[in-house]
Structure 1
Amino acid sequence: MDWVTALPPRGGKSYNSCLVIVDRYSKTPIFLLFHKDDTAMDTALLIWNRVISHTSLFKNIISDRDPKFTSALWTNLHKLLGTKLSFSTVYHPQTDGLAERMIQTLEDMIRKFCAYGL
């Protein structure tokens, strides 16, 4: 999982960040829109309602060291669910390479849409 932030505001809800989740086995990306000031609880609820309830629990999640994922809420949630939360090494984006590549693709698509005024 990784974040894309500072998105241009569009639409009535003006989301300005996107959480990118990539399934390591199927390589399927999942994009969840957020407000930058959403809390760790908001993030957990949206992941539960939009991802886990439709797929299944993840065995292992690799994320950067975003404060939302290092909070006590996430630590306790993973203990309760029996899943493992791993953090990528600082300045070593290859650890979470699938999400990083998907973010690059997403940013390229956004640039093209903005260039054509869509």
Structure 2
Amino acid sequence: MIQTFVDMIRTFCAYGLEFKDSDGCTHDWCTLIPALELAHKTSIHASTGKTPAIYHANQSMNDAFEYAKQKWDKSHKTPELKVGDLILVSTLNLNNIKGPKKLKYSFAGPFIIKALHGKNAVQGELSGELENKHPTFPVSMVKHCTSSYKELFHLRNETLL
């Protein structure tokens, strides 16, 4: 890059007639640096096929994407679900549960997994108020029901634990 700038300055000093004094020498080449920098940044480079500004923007976006992916992969673990496991279903999108929305339980269940639809969806055997709902839920709306969860909240209604 430095060699490119040196060649550009040398070319401007040698052939830039409007910048030469009466002796034929160019003394004010420092004023050309912003124009040379703009020409360098807006020209397509042979090695990358892009302008440096576009290349830098793409590289910054790729770096940010990789950083976010590493953070997500480090903290996220996909649940190991099997047919027959007990699950709790999030009530975030369930509107037919009686009572005020503020006092609604965060999760309903426990329900038994009847089938797995790939890695992203689970089909459960719904009962109680949720019998009429579609039984397939995304994995993000489901969590494992452990025995300790049932012991902690043993006074709750069984279908809306």
Same fold per superposition (TM over 0.5)? no
Larger Rg: 2
Higher relative contact order (CA 8 A, sep 6+): 1
User: Normalised by the size of structure 2, how large is the TM-score?
Assistant: 0.21
User: Normalised by the size of structure 1, how large is the TM-score?
Assistant: 0.26
